[in-house]
Amino acid sequence: MRPDGAVWGWGRNNLGQVGDGTTADRPMPVNVMVQEGT
């Protein structure tokens, strides 16, 4: 997590594991959504 609260993820995403709401592989970092309280 960055100091401003942003969270970034990348990698294989065939099961949605990056957390960006898609199943597209992400070779470069993408901003991902974080649910409050998790």
For the stretch 1-38, pLDDT in tens is 677 878 899 999 999 999 888 999 999 999 987 766 65
Q: What is the pLDDT of residue 32?
A: 87
Length of the chain measured in residues? 38
Q: What is the pLDDT of residue 1?
A: 67
Q: What is the pLDDT of residue 19?
A: 86
Q: What is the pLDDT of residue 22?
A: 93
Q: What is the pLDDT of residue 16?
A: 92
What residues have CB less than 8 Å from 20, skipping those under 6 apart?
Answer: 9, 13, 26, 30, 31, 32, 33
Q: What is the pLDDT of residue 34?
A: 72
